[in-house]
Amino acid sequence: MSGTNGESERARAEPRRRSQFRLFRTLTTRWSDNDIYGHMNNVVHYALFDSAVNGWLIETGLLDLHGGEEIGLVVETGCRYHGELAFPDPVTAGIGISRLGRSSVRYEIALFRGEDDVAAAEGFFVHVNVDRRTRRPVAIGPARRAKFEEIIL
Amino acid sequence: MSGTNGESERARAEPRRRSQFRLFRTLTTRWSDNDIYGHMNNVVHYALFDSAVNGWLIETGLLDLHGGEEIGLVVETGCRYHGELAFPDPVTAGIGISRLGRSSVRYEIALFRGEDDVAAAEGFFVHVNVDRRTRRPVAIGPARRAKFEEIIL
Amino acid sequence: MSGTNGESERARAEPRRRSQFRLFRTLTTRWSDNDIYGHMNNVVHYALFDSAVNGWLIETGLLDLHGGEEIGLVVETGCRYHGELAFPDPVTAGIGISRLGRSSVRYEIALFRGEDDVAAAEGFFVHVNVDRRTRRPVAIGPARRAKFEEIIL
Amino acid sequence: MSGTNGESERARAEPRRRSQFRLFRTLTTRWSDNDIYGHMNNVVHYALFDSAVNGWLIETGLLDLHGGEEIGLVVETGCRYHGELAFPDPVTAGIGISRLGRSSVRYEIALFRGEDDVAAAEGFFVHVNVDRRTRRPVAIGPARRAKFEEIIL
């Protein structure tokens, strides 16, 4: 099995636990997140992934919403749902990087319900670092790379 | 000017301040809340109003998501925008009740950015208390009424 | 009763009908629009208002998403809910302008379910025409004003 | 390479074309779908996948929102982004099934911008057919299976 095939390897693995992450962010759920079955709609998980990672990128100075020259373009995302989440659950996201390429980053995010130790859902998304105007890939510079390396899983 | 006309009276008033509320809830913004202009889309404010009020209703036992006989049907909502909010701002909602009728409740919600004292936006929504199945109005009983009275503005 | 008080005047009026509008747009609902009660969450109506009006603005050349010098800043919104909408209902929005000021526009939008003649919900929002950079109000020029006048109610 | 590994096989493949699908649904984008970069946020694609598939399920009688005994529980989703979509683009979804198990269905959805022949994005989601109350898997009966077989890719 190819080592590039992280998503499917994960599909056979156990859900991740909190101890596998060093970086966490706390998120709140919303009334409108719950669907007709009374649980968080599967789409919302991705809004939480985005918010967890981009919140960290902004705080660490890796993303400047208004003036940045480089942005992260999303080229692939995925999620596996192990258990249910629902408003008004508080959610903690564990965030890590599983692959750091020349111009791309693959983030892994696990969502933990309340104080749970086992992830209710876990997903990934792949950012390609691009020039904001041309949308062409740009190599990740050494200063930014050093920050990414701090959260490699 | 009629006393039933709270929304327009408010339109002439100053933005509310934290000191006008006794009940608060902390909310997080999301990456997808920001629109093309880099600020929170005007629709998201309503998702926060809903979440603030329903979160309180669930915690106080006034709303049972799965088994309740009575639900709050939204018949009118409104919002005035005084200043900009944006991800990743933390937001605090101040919540109060400005009118408590036989079977209806008018909530007032102000959204405060970070540690700001003056509201960035304030809105209202009117719940009619209805039977979950028939959707007909039902008088608010004395136990529930007592809880609502605790947050009258 | 003051003429500035459109929202509350409407509150006493009958729901609008299709014949009161000349401009319509067709919208689709989404699975995630339905909340735990099986009907469209009250927040979604505002996403439809926004989409109906901005879709028209873009098509008529009144709004240029990427290069425009002037944008519409939302300062107030509101909605009254007369009946239920739900995915997968198709929705038609009727759009009109009830007040055209020096630098502001008040839009009225009614949402019709399927082929219904009576609005399931109706709302408004007030755009102030501002400079994209300074966010200061700018008078609406004669060419744009002429287009707005075509849909005055 | 294992045959169960559809997602990564697809990652090496060309974007899908309209001719690969027999079933299509038309969807509208929303103003709030566009993010700060002026394009549809990566989360919205999943809301469109959900709406395309569930819209078909409801129309064909395979899903009864209010009275059904069996529902589709989402256990895994994924998306690859080939090109940009943005409000006010109209979007057409091509829908097919790539795997039909005893109690599970894997849907493949491609999103086409306007009249484009090549997909701007394509994703999948896996539904496990469960009992609405117990949330335990239930075998897909022959009548339903026959309908699913009509859209196998």
Q: Using CA atoms in the order A38, A43, A45, A46, what is the torsion angle rounded to 10 degrees? A: -170
The partner residue sitting opposite D32, judged by closest CB among C32, C50, C66, is C50
pLDDT on residue C110? 98
Could you tell me which residue, A40 or B3, shows the higher pLDDT?
Answer: A40
- Å between A4 CA and nearest CA of chain D: 9
pLDDT on residue A1? 29
CA–CA distance, C66 with B149 (Å, rounded to integer): 49
Instruction: Give the tens place of pLDDT for each residue, A63-87.
Output: 887 777 888 999 999 999 999 999 9
pLDDT on residue D79? 98
For residue D7, pLDDT over 80 is answered with no
For residue C12, pLDDT over 80 is answered with no
CB-based contact A36 C38, cutoff 8 Å: yes
pLDDT on residue C52? 97
CB-based contact C79 B78, cutoff 8 Å: yes
Share of chain B above pLDDT 70, in %: 92
For residue D108, pLDDT over 90 is answered with yes
Average pLDDT, chain D: 90
- Å between D100 CA and nearest CA of chain A: 18
Closest chain D residue by Cα to residue B42: D32
CATH number of A6-149: 3.10.129.10
| Chain D residues with CB-CB distance to C71 below 8 A | none
pLDDT on residue A120? 98
Closest chain C residue by Cα to residue D53: C31
What is the number of CB-based contacts under 8 A between chain B and chain D? 24
Contact in structure between A38 and A29 (CB atoms under 8 Å): no
CA–CA distance, B109 with B115 (Å, rounded to integer): 16
| Chain C residues with CB-CB distance to B38 below 8 A | none
The partner residue sitting opposite B71, judged by closest CB among C37, C43, C50, is C37
For residue D58, pLDDT over 90 is answered with yes
For residue C139, pLDDT over 60 is answered with yes
pLDDT below 50 — which residues of chain A? Answer: 1-10
pLDDT on residue C2? 33
DSSP annotation of D87: T
Instruction: Give the tens place of pLDDT for each residue, C26-78.
Output: 999 999 999 988 899 999 999 999 999 999 999 999 988 777 788 899 999 99
Could you tell me which residue, C96 or D133, shows the higher pLDDT?
Answer: C96
CB-based contact A37 D125, cutoff 8 Å: no
Closest chain D residue by Cα to residue A51: D43
The partner residue sitting opposite D36, judged by closest CB among A2, A42, A65, is A65
CA–CA distance, D87 with B19 (Å, rounded to integer): 41
The phi and psi torsions of B71 (rounded to 5 degrees) equal -130, 160
Q: Whole-prediction pTM value?
A: 0.92
Residues of D with CB under 8 A from a CB of B: 31-32, 34-38, 41, 43-44
Closest chain B residue by Cα to residue A26: B28
Enumerate neighbours of B (3 or more CB pairs within 8 A).
Answer: A, C, D
pLDDT on residue A67? 76
Instruction: Give the tens place of pLDDT for each residue, B101-118.
Output: 999 999 999 999 999 999
Domain assignments of chain B as residue spans, ordered by start: 15-149
Res. B12 pLDDT band, cuts 50 70 90:
low
pLDDT on residue C11? 52
- Rounded mean pLDDT of B59-78? 89
Could you tell me which residue, B23 or C6, shows the higher pLDDT?
Answer: B23
Question: How many helices and strands in chain A, by DSSP H and E?
Answer: 3, 5
For residue C24, pLDDT over 70 is answered with yes
pLDDT on residue B2? 34
CATH number of B15-149: 3.10.129.10
Share of chain B above pLDDT 90, in %: 80
Contact in structure between C105 and C97 (CB atoms under 8 Å): yes
CB-based contact C34 A35, cutoff 8 Å: yes
Closest chain B residue by Cα to residue C11: B76
Enumerate neighbours of D (3 or more CB pairs within 8 A).
Answer: A, B, C
For residue B8, pLDDT over 60 is answered with no
The phi and psi torsions of C41 (rounded to 5 degrees) equal -60, 145
pLDDT on residue C13? 72
| Chain B residues with CB-CB distance to A65 below 8 A | 34, 38, 86
CB-based contact C28 D27, cutoff 8 Å: yes
pLDDT on residue B106? 98
Closest chain B residue by Cα to residue A54: B31
The partner residue sitting opposite C32, judged by closest CB among A31, A35, A38, is A35
User: Which stretches does DSSP call E strand in B1-153?
Assistant: 23-28, 70-81, 90-100, 104-113, 121-131
- Å between C129 CA and nearest CA of chain B: 14
CA–CA distance, A126 with A78 (Å, rounded to integer): 9
